[in-house]
A and B are shown apart, each in its own frame.
Chain A
C-alpha cells in the first residue's frame, strides 16, 4: 500500500506531518465530446496532509480546474482513485457525493456565489440546512463562523450591502460552517483589489495556522500562491512541479506595507488633483 503511493511521496515532501486528507492515485479524467476525447488529466498522483496550505497553479487548460472539481467531489475521475479523509469517493453516486461535499468540504469561489437578497447569516447557514441541523444550532454555528471571519456585526446584511471583500469573507464563513476537512478556494481573490486580496489571504492563513484547517487554493497569480505553504503546478493534464514555498509571504506583514484604504483614497485624490492641475495648465494660454 505504501509502496503504491511512493511516486507521489517522491514528488512532494509534505510540509505538514498530519494524516493524509487527500490522496489521488493515478487519476485520469477524459471528456468524451463525441468525435474527440479530451484528456484533461493524465495520471495525477498526489497527497495532501492535514494542516497543509496548497496552491494549485497552472495556465488555463492545464487541468487545474478539473483537478479542483474532482477534489471538490463535483466530478468523478474516469480512472484512478480519490481518497478523501481515508474514504475512496471515486465510485460514489451523485447523492453520496453531495453528502460528502456537505460534510467534508468547504467551497470558496471567485464570484463569491452568495445568494442575493438573503442575509449573510442565512447564506452561512445554507450548508447546515442540507446537513439536517436544527434551526437553533444552525444559527449558533453560522454566527460562530461569521465571527471567525470578523463579520459578526454584519450578520443581517444582504450581499448587495457588503463590499467584495466582505462578501468573500461571508463565503469563507459559509465554507467553514460544517467544520469541513478541507477548504477549497477557487481563485478567491480573482475579483478583489490587492489590499482586499491580502486580507482574504490573511484570513485563510489564520485558519490554516490557528485551526490547522487544510486549504487547497487555485490561483494563477504567483504572489497569491506565495501565501501558501506548497505549490502544485499543472500543465497539460499532468502535475509538473510540486514545491515547498520558500520565502512564504505572511499576510499580516504584507498588509503593513500596503496603504490602508484611507491612504489609498487620499493618494487617489492627490493623483486626480495633480492631473486636473496639469489639464488646467494646458488649457491656459
Chain B
C-alpha cells in the first residue's frame, strides 16, 4: 500500500468523525497557536530592545581617560591629562578594526539666550560623533570639519536645551551664549530620551572639540574617545589592541595600571543574549507542555479508534493487509491529526499576533524559525504518541479481530 493511498485513507477515517478529530486537534492547535503568538510578541519586544541598543551604537568602543596619580595626587576618572587627540588618530591609523572615532571633552556651563538661562553640559567633539552614536539632526545641520579646524563658535543643541532656552522659537541660526562666548546654533538634535542610567541625553550642547578645549575649558587633552568598530564582534576584539597601543603611547611600564579605560557594549549584548535564552527556554517549556497534552489527547483518541475499528482491522488483515500496513495506517492517521493541528495552530498564531499588534499596538515579529519548529514538533508528537496505538492495532490477531463485537 503506497503512501498516497494511506494518506487518503487517513483523511477519510478522520473525516468520518469530524467532531472528534477537531477536538483532538484542539490541543495541538492551542499549543502551537499560543507558541507562535507568544514567540512573535517576544521577538517583537526583543527587536525593540535591539533597536534601542543600536541607537546607542552597537559597535561603539569607549576609551575614557582614567584615574592616575600624576605627581602622587590621585585624580578621578577623566582626570588624567594623558589621553589626547593624537591617541585617537593613532587608534584610527593603527587598528583596522576601528572605522571611525570622535573625541569628546565636556564641562558644565551656564548658557544664556535672551532672558533665559540654563545650566547644561557642553561637549566638544567632531561631526562624525553623531554618526557613531546613531544620532540624527532634527532641524538645521551639524557643524563642519572646517569649523572644527577653525575652532569656530558653533554648536548643536539637544531638545531639552532648545525647549528651556528658546521656548517656542526656532533655535537654528540664533546666537546664544555659553559662558561669555557667543555661539551660533547650527542644528537641533533628534530627541533621544533618557539613557540606561536615567540621564536626559537631550540636555546637552555639542560644539567643535577645538573650541571647547581652547576657549571654554582651556585644556589640551580629551576625556573620551568614541570609536566605532566595523562590527559588534570587532568592537570586542579591538579592546586589546587599543589597550596595548595606548600603553605604549603613554609609556606605561609593564605591571603599572592603565591610565585609561576601554569599554564596549558587549556587556549589554551579553545581558541581552542571556535574556533571550531564558525567554527561549521558557517558551520551549510552554510549547512542550502544551504539545505533550495535545499528544496525550491524540494517543487517547487513537487508542479508542483502534478499539472501535478492531473489526475493520480484522477485515483488512483478512484481505491481505500486513502488520506494517496496519501500523502505517494508524501512524499516518495520528501524524495527519497532529500536523493538521499544527498547521491550523500556526494559522491561528499568525492571526493572533496580527490582531495583537493591531489592537494593542504591541510590536510583533513573526519568526520563520518558530513556525518551522512548531511544524516539526507537531509531526514528532504525532509519531511519538501515534506509535503505541498503531503498534497495538498491528499486533491484533486477525481471527480475534474478526470476531470482535
Chain A positions near chain B (C-beta within 8 angstroms): 69, 72, 74-75, 94-95, 98-99, 101-103, 107, 109, 111, 113-115, 117-118, 126-127, 129-132, 174, 178
Closest 10 CB pairs of A and B: A102-B320, A130-B320, A127-B319, A98-B322, A113-B315, A95-B322, A107-B318, A74-B398, A74-B399, A101-B320
- The answer to whether the Cβ of B1 comes within 8 Å of any Cβ in the partner chain is yes
- The answer to whether the Cβ of B5 comes within 8 Å of any Cβ in the partner chain is yes
On whether the beta carbons of A130 and B325 are closer than 8 Å, the reply is yes
Chain B positions near chain A (C-beta within 8 angstroms): 1-2, 5, 12, 16, 311-312, 314-325, 398-399, 402
Query: Which single residue of chain B is at the shortest CB-CB distance from A178?
Result: B320
On whether the beta carbons of B398 and A95 are closer than 8 Å, the reply is no
Q: CA separation between A103 and B398, bound complex, in Å?
A: 17
Q: How far is the CB of A82 from chain B (nearest CB, A)?
A: 16
- Residues on A with beta carbons closer than 8 Å to the beta carbon of B323: 94-95, 98
Query: Which single residue of chain B is at the shortest CB-CB distance from A69?
Result: B399
On whether the beta carbons of B399 and A130 are closer than 8 Å, the reply is no
On whether the beta carbons of B315 and A98 are closer than 8 Å, the reply is no
Q: CA separation between A69 and B324, bound complex, in Å?
A: 21
On whether the beta carbons of A74 and B318 are closer than 8 Å, the reply is yes
Q: CA separation between A179 and B316, bound complex, in Å?
A: 17
Q: CA separation between A98 and B320, bound complex, in Å?
A: 5
On whether the beta carbons of A113 and B322 are closer than 8 Å, the reply is no
On whether the beta carbons of A103 and B320 are closer than 8 Å, the reply is yes
On whether the beta carbons of A113 and B311 are closer than 8 Å, the reply is yes
Q: How far is the CB of A168 from chain B (nearest CB, A)?
A: 14
Q: How far is the CB of A114 from chain B (nearest CB, A)?
A: 8
Q: CA separation between A161 and B205, bound complex, in Å?
A: 90
Identify A102's interface contact among B315, B319, B399, CB under 8 A. Answer: B319
Indicate the member of B16, B316, B320, B321 with the most A CB atoms within 10 Å: B320
Query: Which single residue of chain A is at the shortest CB-CB distance from B315?
Result: A113
- Residues on A with beta carbons closer than 8 Å to the beta carbon of B325: 98, 130
- Residues on A with beta carbons closer than 8 Å to the beta carbon of B316: 126, 130
- Residues on A with beta carbons closer than 8 Å to the beta carbon of B1: 129-130, 132
Indicate the member of A98, A130, A132 with the most B CB atoms within 10 Å: A98
- Residues on B with beta carbons closer than 8 Å to the beta carbon of A102: 319-320
Can you list 28 residue pairs at the A/B interface with Cβ under 8 Å?
A: A69-B399, A74-B317, A74-B399, A74-B402, A75-B399, A94-B323, A95-B322, A95-B323, A98-B320, A98-B322, A98-B323, A99-B320, A99-B322, A101-B319, A107-B318, A107-B319, A111-B311, A113-B311, A113-B315, A115-B312, A126-B316, A126-B319, A129-B5, A130-B319, A130-B322, A132-B2, A174-B319, A178-B320
Q: How far is the CB of A100 from chain B (nearest CB, A)?
A: 8
- Residues on A with beta carbons closer than 8 Å to the beta carbon of B5: 129
Q: CA separation between A131 and B325, bound complex, in Å?
A: 11
Q: How far is the CB of B404 from chain A (nearest CB, A)?
A: 10
Q: How far is the CB of A94 from chain B (nearest CB, A)?
A: 6
Q: CA separation between A94 and B319, bound complex, in Å?
A: 13
Q: How far is the CB of B221 from chain A (nearest CB, A)?
A: 87
Q: How far is the CB of B136 from chain A (nearest CB, A)?
A: 66
Identify B320's interface contact among A114, A115, A118, A127, CB under 8 A. Answer: A127
- Residues on B with beta carbons closer than 8 Å to the beta carbon of A130: 1, 316, 319-322, 325
Q: CA separation between A126 and B1, bound complex, in Å?
A: 10
Q: CA separation between A132 and B312, bound complex, in Å?
A: 19
Q: CA separation between A98 and B316, bound complex, in Å?
A: 10
On whether the beta carbons of B321 and A98 are closer than 8 Å, the reply is yes
Q: CA separation between A117 and B13, bound complex, in Å?
A: 10
- Residues on B with beta carbons closer than 8 Å to the beta carbon of A113: 311, 314-315, 318, 402
Q: How far is the CB of A186 from chain B (nearest CB, A)?
A: 9
Q: How far is the CB of B16 from chain A (nearest CB, A)?
A: 6
Indicate the member of A103, A117, A130 with the most B CB atoms within 10 Å: A130
- Residues on A with beta carbons closer than 8 Å to the beta carbon of B322: 94-95, 98-99, 130
Query: Which single residue of chain B is at the shortest CB-CB distance from A66?
Result: B399
Query: Which single residue of chain B is at the shortest CB-CB distance from A65?
Result: B399
Q: How far is the CB of B228 from chain A (nearest CB, A)?
A: 67
On whether the beta carbons of A117 and B321 are closer than 8 Å, the reply is no
Residues A109 and B402 in contact in the complex (CB < 8 Å), given A117-B16, A129-B5, A132-B1: yes
- Residues on B with beta carbons closer than 8 Å to the beta carbon of A109: 402
On whether the beta carbons of B318 and A101 are closer than 8 Å, the reply is yes
Q: CA separation between A64 and B126, bound complex, in Å?
A: 105
Q: CA separation between A174 and B318, bound complex, in Å?
A: 11
Known: A95-B322, A98-B320. 11 other contacts (CB 8 A): A74-B318, A94-B322, A98-B321, A101-B318, A103-B320, A113-B402, A114-B315, A117-B16, A129-B5, A130-B316, A131-B320
Q: CA separation between A132 and B16, bound complex, in Å?
A: 25
- Residues on A with beta carbons closer than 8 Å to the beta carbon of B402: 74, 109, 113
Query: Which single residue of chain B is at the shortest CB-CB distance from A113?
Result: B315
Q: How far is the CB of B314 from chain A (nearest CB, A)?
A: 7
- Residues on B with beta carbons closer than 8 Å to the beta carbon of A94: 322-323
Query: Which single residue of chain A is at the shortest CB-CB distance from B9?
Result: A129
Q: CA separation between A115 and B314, bound complex, in Å?
A: 11
Indicate the member of B311, B314, B398 with the most A CB atoms within 10 Å: B398
- Residues on A with beta carbons closer than 8 Å to the beta carbon of B319: 101-102, 107, 126-127, 130, 174
- Residues on A with beta carbons closer than 8 Å to the beta carbon of B312: 115
Q: CA separation between A132 and B2, bound complex, in Å?
A: 7
Query: Which single residue of chain B is at the shortest CB-CB distance from A135?
Result: B5
- Residues on A with beta carbons closer than 8 Å to the beta carbon of B398: 74
Q: CA separation between A107 and B320, bound complex, in Å?
A: 10
Q: CA separation between A130 and B69, bound complex, in Å?
A: 92
